Structure 1
Amino acid sequence: MTQFYNAYLNLPNHFYRAVKPQPMLEADLVHCNQPLAHQLGLNFSAQQWLDITCGVAFPDGWTPIAQKYTGHQFGYYNPQLGDGRGVLLGQVNDAHDQAWDVHLKGSGQTPFSRQGDGRAVLRSAVREYLIGEALHALGVPTTRCLALCHGLENVRRDGLEPRATYLRVAKTHIRFGHFEWLAQQNDVVSFKALANYVIQTVYPDLATLPEPERYAQLLNTIVSRTAQMIALWQKVGFCHGVMNTDNMSVAGETFDFGPYAFLDDCQLHYVCNHSDTQGRYAYSQQPSMGLWNCQVLISAFAHVISEADAQHAAELYINTYNQAYLSGLCAKLGLANSLPQDKHFVADTLILLEQSSLDFHVFFNKLVYFNVEQRHCQSNPFTEFVGDSQAWQQWATRYQARLALEHANQEAAQNNLLHTALNPTQFETQRVALINTNTPQLVLRNYIAQEIIEAAQRKDYAPLTQWVHALREPFSVCDALKAYSAPPSQKGQKGLALSCSS
């Protein structure tokens, strides 16, 4: 039988405040994430899903609370933070005994709302539902939505918008900002209590380690997972938009979505948040901002680890990110084994894409058609896409040489192992397969999300259902959505920037 509980209540009571959600009445159950519900062993009826998601009634064992934390927002420390428009209901364990937090968003004001109304709007709820499924299918660690409701009540943002509530599932809702808060208070006892809670609920393998090694390894794990996550963001062309430390999860999951976007044209300094006037969280800045955030976390952990451990954690982020990013981009280029010098080829490729105003995702899809024998044919899709300029001819020569080196290195390795080396045809098949498994055919571009939102606001939920299913299989595309795999048109579809209210 499924057990519902809230382990966060075992922490000192100054970590949270009990909150009674403000129910959303006269609501529709827009969508329920059945695969995720099945994973969690949840078999609620439609009415139960509606009651939980609207904040009307919860299973015994779930106790709504708002967590207290702080954080750096756009580089400035803000001590007045906490769950302002959502409550942690509690946890449930899956069949593998992995604990999952369930959080109700848009449930009304809390003691940390800071003059806000604590509500969510349908626009932002649909966007978070979609992106969770999209990133999960792309292999990017992320929070996901379990259910979504839409009510008649209007909420004022830029204008009046329909209210929504939704359930978010994550391995934990502990943020970097939780540790910042306790470090600022110089509360080492509470800091260790929180660290032990994270170890118990997220990283139980660390529980047997003695102090201070336990906390040093916890920090290393958080830093390493953060670096890997951001490398995956860069690989899939994802822009988070608001990488404040209170939006960084200690589980290394993509967390707290606002004005996110996938790249359209390869604009390396693209800023998806029009509130980010300095470009702090531009696509190109995400790796360095990840390091900056980890350095803030490392500083907080200085209370419980040595200076040498702190230095190691910073170096670990850099080394982990560089390795994960290079291997990820090489895979998109069809290179199974990355070499240190490939970082120059990867960088030059992206710069040339930007200079040529070419679509980031479509380029890699077309790259499967790159073929030494076919490249100069008039009907070659790759040449048609990039053009036959001198710059791209030079790039093709470099790529061809790198493929030849890859093939030669594989042959040498296989000969040393007394295995039969791949012939040219087999090698080409491997290259194409590697690109295809690392490059989606279907990408959740912002104009697509907007179409789905506008339909939902008319109470037409069919597009949402269709796209949720499609985004779960992004490496293939059904005939009905084939047009969406092409680059977006120039007419208001490219490079959309959104606000934090998104």
Structure 2
Amino acid sequence: MLQHPYLELPKSFFQPVWPEPQQNARLVAVNRALMQEIDCDLSDEQLLALTAGQLEDASLAEFDLQPLAQKYTGHQFGYYNPDLGDGRGLLLGRWEDKNGQAWDFHLKGAGRTPYSRRGDGRAVLRSVIREYLASEALFGLGVPTTRALSIATSDEQVQRETFEPRASLMRVTPSHIRFGHFQWAASKGPATLEFLTNFVVEHHYPELQSLEEPQRSAALLKTVCERTAVLMAKWQAVGFNHGVMNSDNMSILGETFDFGPYAFFDDFQIEYICNHSDYEGRYAYNQQPKIGVTNCQLLAHAFDKVLDEAAQNEALEAFVETYNRQYIDEMNCKIGLHTVQPDDKNLIGDLLVLMDQHRVDFSLFFRRLAKWNQPDEGELMTLLNQPGAFVDWFQRYDARLQQEGISESERQQRILAVNPAIVLRNYIAQGIIEAAENGDYQPLEQWVEALHSPFEEHPGLAEFQKPPSPEQKGLQLSCSS
């Protein structure tokens, strides 16, 4: 049974909307692992009806469905937009697992809503497959993220750059509340903001319920800032570029949210831009932590009438402290270190500068670092283009390992445990999409299963564990992706 606590919020936070159902739809992907994780016992018939927006189907007669489009605002590419909301998605309700954890079921590609502006509210097969792949890739890497439960498609065509098959996706996460919800609440006044704060604390941060105001709001803001900082550090460490870090795309749970023109690195480029619409590089790879702070500042401003400047600054300082600590921890693990020493940030920073200068494959370098000083070291050195430029760094790395005092086998095990053997590069995702558009979903199933265990070797995918060819690198995408 789907519950709907979101209806407890003031009516200014949503509008009831029924989806525009897909006709003659078919279920083409089901995340069985996620279904098991959340104790979801829906039949395929029920799942198809929900995912295709066929909410009046007889199989759903037991459900009291009240789909709604959420209202929020936000800053898009630095500019405030008061007209935002769920323009192509509907919140269907919450599923509760056996442990009492609730999970939002959110239908993406549901059709027009009052917030669609000039859009058709629909999604295409290409975009929902990309979200499905990205969310499972990040989940496998240990990065907080929303998940995808299922995909439905039909023969209906939707016009984007070309005509493409319509599709929809069921997104699952404990909360779909964004930073933009708090910006909207602030615009409605202190009472509305207090109501939203209490709702979020009750449903998502119950450990803060014993606090009185303004301590409750201060603690919530600080916690969200800290979670966001952890997320930013993990993105940077796995080489993930989000592409559209607008404040309405930021989750109050610190999860990766709203996938668009994302990319995992091929060759490392500090200023890499994965979104070809981002002409100024606002959301470039090296800007992501800064934009994380900026979005947390926007969230803090929503509490202007509740929290003083000191409380807001404390939360923002917590972001910086958390990010710096988490990032060094993540990067040290990637090179086989577990302790942190004062000069480690320079060791990591200098390595990234070298990798940027010589366009070294990001994921393969860290994975193959396990081969350093081994008989098969050549596989590492061939990645470096100019190995001589790295001699001094490897000497510093060796000295740091001596300080760590670990055996060579332990170093290798540590590196292989946190650096993936398989990476969802854009050319791989594109190949999966093209196969699906031709009716072949086997590559999608194979890759989703593999992405759940990315640190294993996966010999069946060996051809994808080699450096990509020049024409396979650096594929940029648009927001329609």
- Cα distance in 1 for partners of 2:214, 2:283 equals 34
Deviation at 1:387, TM superposition (A): 5.6
- Cα distance in 2 for partners of 1:330, 1:159 equals 45
Aligned to 1:417: none
Matches within 5 A, 1:50-449: 50-57=48-55, 58=60, 60-185=63-188, 187-371=189-373, 374=374, 380-386=378-384, 389-407=387-405, 427-449=407-429
8 A Cα contact 2:358 2:385, kept in partner: no
426-435 or 285-294: which moved more? 426-435
Deviation at 1:226, TM superposition (A): 0.3
Deviation at 1:306, TM superposition (A): 2.5
8 A Cα contact 1:366 1:381, kept in partner: yes
70-79 or 303-312: which moved more? 303-312
The AA in structure 2 aligned to 1:31 is A
Aligned to 1:415: none
The gaps in structure 2 that reach 5 residues or longer are: none
Secondary structure, in 3 states, of the residue corresponding to 1:448?
helix
Aligned to 1:499: 478
With normalisation by structure 1, the TM-score equals 0.93
- Cα distance in 2 for partners of 1:91, 1:27 equals 24
8 A Cα contact 1:36 1:146, kept in partner: yes
The AA in structure 2 aligned to 1:295 is Q
**Given the alignment of the two structures, is residue 33 of structure 1 paired with residue 31 of structure 2, yes or no?**
yes
Secondary structure, in 3 states, of the residue corresponding to 1:227?
helix
8 A Cα contact 2:358 2:386, kept in partner: no
Deviation per CA, 1:467-494: give whole Å up to 9, x if none: 1101111001322211101111112x10
8 A Cα contact 1:39 1:95, kept in partner: no
8 A Cα contact 1:122 1:150, kept in partner: yes
Q: CA RMSD in A?
A: 1.3
Report the CA distance shift for 1:387/1:188 in structure 2 as closer, same or farther (over 3 A): same
Deviation at 1:438, TM superposition (A): 1.2
The AA in structure 1 aligned to 2:38 is L
Deviation at 1:378, TM superposition (A): 8.2
The AA in structure 2 aligned to 1:240 is H
- Cα distance in 2 for partners of 1:126, 1:432 equals 34
Matches within 5 A, 1:454-465: 454-465=434-445
With normalisation by structure 2, the TM-score equals 0.97
**Given the alignment of the two structures, is residue 450 of structure 1 paired with residue 434 of structure 2, yes or no?**
no
The gaps in structure 1 that reach 5 residues or longer are: 408-425
- Cα distance in 1 for partners of 2:86, 2:307 equals 28
Secondary structure, in 3 states, of the residue corresponding to 2:161?
coil
Report the CA distance shift for 1:231/1:303 in structure 2 as closer, same or farther (over 3 A): same
271-280 or 383-392: which moved more? 383-392
8 A Cα contact 1:442 1:474, kept in partner: yes
Deviation at 1:265, TM superposition (A): 0.2
Deviation at 1:254, TM superposition (A): 0.2
The AA in structure 2 aligned to 1:30 is V
6-15 or 473-482: which moved more? 473-482
8 A Cα contact 1:62 1:91, kept in partner: no
8 A Cα contact 1:241 1:272, kept in partner: yes
Deviation per CA, 1:419-473: give whole Å up to 9, x if none: xxxxxxx622221111111100000000000001011111111111111101111
- Cα distance in 2 for partners of 1:400, 1:136 equals 32
What percent of counterpart residues are identical? 50
Aligned to 1:45: 43
8 A Cα contact 1:103 1:168, kept in partner: yes
Aligned to 2:21: 23
Deviation at 1:388, TM superposition (A): 6.2
- Cα distance in 1 for partners of 2:15, 2:376 equals 67
Deviation at 1:379, TM superposition (A): 5.8
Report the CA distance shift for 1:201/1:389 in structure 2 as closer, same or farther (over 3 A): same
